[in-house]
Structure 1
Amino acid sequence: MRDFPSCFGESGVQISDSSSSSNRASQNLVTCLYKTELHGCSCTITVTWSKSLMGQGLSIGIDDDANQSLCKVDIKPWIFSKMKGSKGLEFGKSKVYIVWDISAAKFGSGPEPLEGFFVAVVIDHEMALLLGDLTKEAYRKTNANPPPSNAMFISKREHIYGKKVYCTKAQFCDNGQVHDIAIECEAVGLKDPSLEIRVDRKRVMQVKHLAWKFRGNQSILVDGIQVEVFWDVHNWLFGTPGGNAVFMFQTCLAPEKSLPLAFSQVSRESQLAGIGFSLILYAWRNE
C-alpha cells in the first residue's frame, strides 16, 4: 500500500476540505459532473442537487475545456411553482435551454431524485444532457434533436450520514450495475478500531489497526474494473467530535497518478486524463 499523503502531491495534503466545519444545512447536497461535446470541443456540465426546509434546489453550470464558466443557472428551492419549468440563456453564438420536471419525482433520504423526473440541457437544439427516466416527456417538451445525449458521467460528490454504517449507491461504468456501497467503522471508544467496505453486502476491503492507518489507499475489483479506494478518517479518530471522514472511489487510476486537493480539481483531472469515474463521499457521524 502506498503512503496516503504521497497520493496528493508533494505537500501531502488530504482530500478533506472546509466542509468539515460547515453546518448540516449546507451539507445536504449532491454534485455530479458530466463530460460532453459542444461544437466539437469538450465541455463539463455540473449538476448540483440541494435540499433545505424550503424544498429541493437545483444548480446547473457549463464550463469549457479550459475550465472557464460559459453559463450557470440556479433554480432556488421550490415548494409549489418551481417543481417544473424552463430557463433559456445565451453564451457566444450558442443558445442554452434548460427544462426540468420534478413534480412527480420520488426522492430517497438525499436531495437527488430517484425516478419520475427529467432534467434536460439543450444547446443549439441538441440534447447535451438528459437526466431522469421521463425521456419521452423531455424530448416532447424541448423539441431537441435526437439522438440522446452522449454525456459521460465522470464524477460525483455527496455527503452521507450514520453512526456505524454509512451507505450509498454507485455505478462505476456506463450502463453498468448500480451497486450498494456500505462503509462500516466503529471508532468511538475502541482501542483498536477497524474499517470495512462492502459492495452489495460482500466485503471487498478491510483495514485493521486503523489508528495507525487512518489514511491510505487500496485497490478493489468491481464489475471486473479496478477501483482505487482512498480513505481519510483522521477526523473521526483524532479530530473534533463533529468532524467528517472522506472516502474516494476512483476507476482506472494509474499507480503513479497524483491526486489533487479539491473536488473540482479531482473531477477536472479525471476529465483531462480520461481515467474514468470518481466518487467522493464525506461521511458524517450522527451523534
Structure 2
Amino acid sequence: MRDFPSCFGENGVQVADSSSKTAQNLVTCVYQSRLCGRSCVITITWSKNLMGQGLSVGIDDSTSQCLCKVDIKPWLFSKRKGSKGLDVDSSKVDIFWDLSSAKFGSGPEPLEGFYLAIVFDHAMVLLLGDLSKEAYRRTNANPPPLNAVFIAKREHIFGKRIYCTKAQFCDNGQVHDVAIECEMVGLKEPCLSIRIDKKMVMQVKRLMWKFRGNQTILVDGLPVEVFWDVYNWLFNATVGNAVFMFKTCVSAEKLWGSHTSDPSVLPWACSQIFKETQLQSLCFSLILYVWKND
C-alpha cells in the first residue's frame, strides 16, 4: 500500500510501504504556502537509519504535480550545514539548513538548535527551527507576506506497550504529550487507552470487537476526531503496526462518509484524507503508524 501521494522518477520522492518494518523511522510534515503566485504544498521528511539522519524537501503544486525535490543524504560527519538551489518555473528556490548543533530525541526530527529555510524571490517561504535570527542573517530573506500553514503530519513511533510522542493538533497550537497504551498480554479483553498530557481522554474496551473505529475528544477546547485501526496488533503479528489518525476538522465525517462502517478501508481512508488535506487544507491531520518492538 502506497500511503502517500508521491512524485516519481528522477526528481520524485518514494515513500516506503507501511507494511515494511525496516527503515520506517520517518517523520513527514506538510505545509501549505504560495510559490510563483499559486498555492503549493511543501513536504518535509526527516529520516533516521544506521547511516545517520537524513532530510528530504519536496514542493508540489495544487494538482499534486512535483515542482522540485531535493534529498539531503543521511550523514554522520558531513552535510549538517549547507544550501541547495532549485529551478521552479524559470525561477529559483533556495533551501538552507544548519543542523550542526541540532539536538534530537529518539526520532529523526530535530528538537532544537537548528533551522531549515526555504527562500523564493527573496522571501522566506518556510522557516523551521529555533534559530530564526541565524536563518534570516544567512539567507538575507524578507519575511513572507503570508506564513506557511502546518496542515498535516505523519510519524512512525515504536514501543512495547506504551507508545509516546509529542504533537500539535493545529497550526501553531500547543505541543502536547500523547501516549497510546494497549495491554494485551494475559487479558481476555484487550483495552486501548489514549492520554493527552497524562490525562485519560479515550478508552476502548472489548477491543477484539472494536479494533477499528472513531471517537471525538476535546483538546484545547477543539473537537478532535480520533480514528484507530489495531487489527494488525490483534490478528496479524507478522506486520505488527497499528494506525491512528487525529483530525481537527468538523467536516471529517463528510470526508469519511460510509467508510467507517467498512473495516477493510480504514488504512486507505487515512491515506486518502491525508491527500485531501494536503491539496485542500481542510484541517489538520496527524497520522501515527505505531509499531510494536519485539
Fold match (TM-score > 0.5): yes
Aligned to 1:201: 198
Counterpart code for 1:209: R
| Counterpart for residue 256 of structure 1 | 254
For residues 74 and 225 of structure 1, the distance between their equivalents in structure 2, rounded to whole angstroms, comes to 36
Normalising by structure 2, report the TM-score: 0.87
Residue 21, structure 1, aligned to residue 19, structure 2: yes
Q: Deviations over 1:89-144 (max 9, x none)?
A: 11212211000000000000000000000000111211111000000110111111
d(CA) in 2 for partners of 1:111, 1:56: 6
Please tell me whether the aligned partners of residues 160 and 284 of structure 1 are also in contact (alpha carbons under 8 angstroms). Answer: yes
The CA deviation string for residues 260-285 of structure 1, in whole angstroms up to 9 with x for no partner, is: 82766433311444331111111111
1:227 is the counterpart of 2:234 = no
**Residue 56 (structure 1) aligned to one of 53, 56, 66:** 53
Q: Which of 1 and 2 has higher RCO (CA within 8 Å, sep 6+)?
A: 1
In the alignment, the residues of structure 1 paired with residue 17 and residue 169 of structure 2 have an alpha-carbon distance, to the nearest angstrom, of 25
Q: Is the 8 A contact 2:151 2:170 kept in 1?
A: no
The CA deviation at 1:242 is 4.1
Deviation at 1:174, TM superposition (A): 2.7
State how far apart, in whole Å, the 2-side matches of 1:230 and 1:22 are.
Answer: 22
Q: Percent identity?
A: 70
Q: What residue is the counterpart of 2:233 in the other structure? A: 236
2:211 corresponding residue in structure 1? 214
Contact preservation (8 Å) 2:41, 2:59: yes
- Residue in 2 aligned with 1:121? 118
1:127-169 CA-to-partner distances (Å, cap 9, x unmatched) read: 1110000001101111111248611111111111111110111
Whether the 8 Å CA contact 2:228–2:245 is kept in 1: the answer is: yes
Q: Distance in 2 between matches of 1:21 and 1:273?
A: 27
The within-5 A match list for 1:34-183 is 34-147=31-144, 150-183=147-180
Tell me if the contact between 1:251 and 1:275 (Cα under 8 Å) persists in the aligned partners.
no
RMSD: 1.9
Change (3 A) 1:27 1:253: farther
For these two proteins, the number of residue pairs brought into alignment is 270
Q: Secondary structure at the match of 2:210?
A: coil
- The one-letter code matched in structure 2 to 1:67 is S
SS at match of 2:79: helix
Contact 2:255–2:273 (Cα < 8 Å) also in 1: no
Q: 2 CA distance for matches of 1:262 and 1:22?
A: 19
Find the residue that maps to 1:184 and give its secondary structure: strand
TM-score (norm 1): 0.89
Q: Deviations over 1:244-268 (max 9, x none)?
A: 0110001114222228827664333
Compared with structure 1, are the counterparts of its residues 282 and 191 closer, same or farther at alpha carbon in structure 2 (3 Å cutoff)?
same
Task: Supply the distance in 2 between the matched residues of 1:209 and 1:264 (Cα, whole angstroms).
Answer: 27
* Alpha carbons 2:32, 2:281 under 8 Å: kept: no
| Rounded Cα–Cα distance in structure 1 between residues aligned with 2:198 and 2:46 | 27
Q: 1:274 to 1:260 in 2, by over 3 A?
A: farther
- Quote the offset at 1:72 in angstroms: 0.2
Offset at residue 176 of structure 1 (A): 2.0
Letter paired with 1:281 = L
Report the equivalent of 1:6: none
Matched position secondary structure for 2:31: strand
Q: Which range is displaced more, 207-216 or 256-265? A: 256-265
Structure 1 residues 278 and 70: CA distance shift in structure 2, 3 A: same
In 1, the alpha carbon distance for the partners of 2:271 and 2:93 equals 23
Matches of 1:200 and 1:235 in 2, distance apart?
Answer: 27
Instruction: Quote the residue 2:274 is aligned against.
Output: 267
Secondary structure of residue in 2 paired with 1:266:
helix
Q: Which amino acid aligns with 2:178?
A: I
